[in-house]
């Protein structure tokens, strides 16, 4: 027993001018472990008994929890150094080396940590907010000192470094007032007599959707005269940006069905193909005849410009009804 006792108390390690024993090292480690466990369980107790019963915002609760955890861990580390008998001032050189390492190798970690502190205090985002950063959309589910977890609509948790929320443009759809206005563009045929009916149908669809707010009430704007279209925009308000994709999809389905039932065409950009000469091209024409019509210089000349017989066969399907001045009208309708 005496040998074991002396072994535990013998100063076998030297650090910062202080000699450390196995026993002091073991006790210091136990203090650190105890500090970590104390921080975890004290936070759980505090949240269950006090924080969850108050009307404090989630962001403020998170700040309180993080500060308590950091405070307990710092105290534990300080006590461990005292047990080891290490003079903190003697670690100045070691601290300088650590600082140099941080400057060159751990810049991102330090940047994310400081950004996390800024987020916790300024609260540009809080847990439960619906945010967009870059191409990422989702709900903030957790904010930590180094990173923030954003859960997408596909239930995928994305870990985002906190520095991204400070250095990049972030859209917080839930900031202060979660209500948002959605613009749904619709292009209809150029028939002035159908404008009133088209507007009334849009307003009716919006008023019947359960997620569309009655106040502010929906409205329709006549935006512009487009190429062969009247461009309308339906404006609606919803209670949260989380539902905006579902609402837009539902309303677009209804617009397509009701416009079709009322003979209102939804138009799209189209292209007219016009021939300069009065040509009548039938599918029965062979490739040589078609080549001579389009290029009097001959087939070889056309092949020299990358024209092939297959192209002639393909283009020969144009105007197969035998109409003069055929027009390829790709006007899209629903």
Strand partners, 171: 132
Is the domain covering 125-172 a CATH 2.30.30.60 domain? yes
pLDDT of residue 319: 40
pLDDT tens column, 188-243 = 988 889 999 999 999 999 999 999 999 999 999 999 998 888 999 999 999 988 88
Q: Within the chain, which residues score under 50 in pLDDT? A: 299, 301-334
Q: Kind and range of the H or E element at 132?
A: strand 130-133
pLDDT of residue 221: 95
**Residue 229 in contact with residue 189, Cβ under 8 Å?**
yes
Report the side by side order of strands in the sheet with 229-238: 180-189, 229-238, 219-226
- The correct CATH number of 2-105 out of 1.10.3470, 3.30.70, 1.10.287, 1.10.443 is 1.10.287
- By three-state DSSP, how is residue 298 classified? coil
pLDDT of residue 20: 66
Q: Which CATH code is given to the segment(s) 180-261?
A: 3.30.70.100
Strand partners, 178: none
User: Domain limits of the chain?
Assistant: 2-105, 125-172, 180-261
**Alpha helices, H only, 85-157:** 92-105, 107-122
């Amino acid at each position: 027993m005496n040998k074991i006792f002396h072994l535990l108390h013998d100063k076998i390690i030297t650090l910062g001018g202080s000699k450390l024993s196995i026993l002091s090292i073991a006790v210091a480690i136990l203090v650190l472990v105890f500090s970590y466990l104390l921080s975890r369980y004290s936070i759980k107790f505090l949240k269950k008994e006090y924080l969850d019963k108050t009307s404090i915002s989630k962001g403020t609760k998170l700040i309180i929890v993080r500060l308590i955890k950091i405070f307990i861990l710092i105290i534990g580390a300080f006590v461990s150094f005292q047990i080891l008998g290490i003079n903190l001032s003697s670690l100045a050189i070691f601290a300088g080396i650590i600082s140099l390492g941080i400057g060159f190798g751990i810049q991102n970690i330090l940047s994310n940590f400081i950004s996390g502190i800024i987020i916790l205090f300024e609260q540009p985002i809080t847990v439960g907010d619906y945010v967009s950063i870059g191409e990422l959309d989702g709900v903030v589910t957790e904010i930590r000192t180094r990173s923030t977890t954003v859960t997408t609509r596909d239930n995928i948790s994305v870990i985002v470094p906190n520095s991204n929320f400070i250095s990049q443009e972030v859209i917080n759809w839930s900031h202060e007032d979660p209500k948002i206005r959605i613009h749904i563009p619709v292009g209809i045929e150029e028939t002035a007599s159908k404008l009133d009916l088209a507007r009334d149908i849009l307003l009716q669809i919006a008023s019947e959707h359960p997620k569309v707010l009655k106040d502010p009430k929906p409205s329709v704007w006549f935006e512009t005269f487009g190429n062969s279209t009247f461009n309308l925009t339906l404006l609606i308000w919803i209670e949260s940006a989380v539902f905006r994709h579902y609402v837009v999809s539902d309303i677009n389905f209804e617009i397509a069905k009701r416009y079709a039932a009322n003979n209102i065409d939804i138009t799209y950009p189209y292209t007219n193909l016009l021939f300069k000469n009065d040509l009548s091209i039938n599918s029965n024409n062979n490739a040589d005849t078609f080549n001579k019509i389009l290029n009097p210089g001959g087939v070889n000349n056309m092949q020299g410009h990358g024209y092939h017989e297959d192209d002639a066969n393909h283009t020969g399907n144009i105007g197969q009804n035998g109409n003069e001045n055929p027009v390829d009208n790709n006007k899209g309708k629903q």
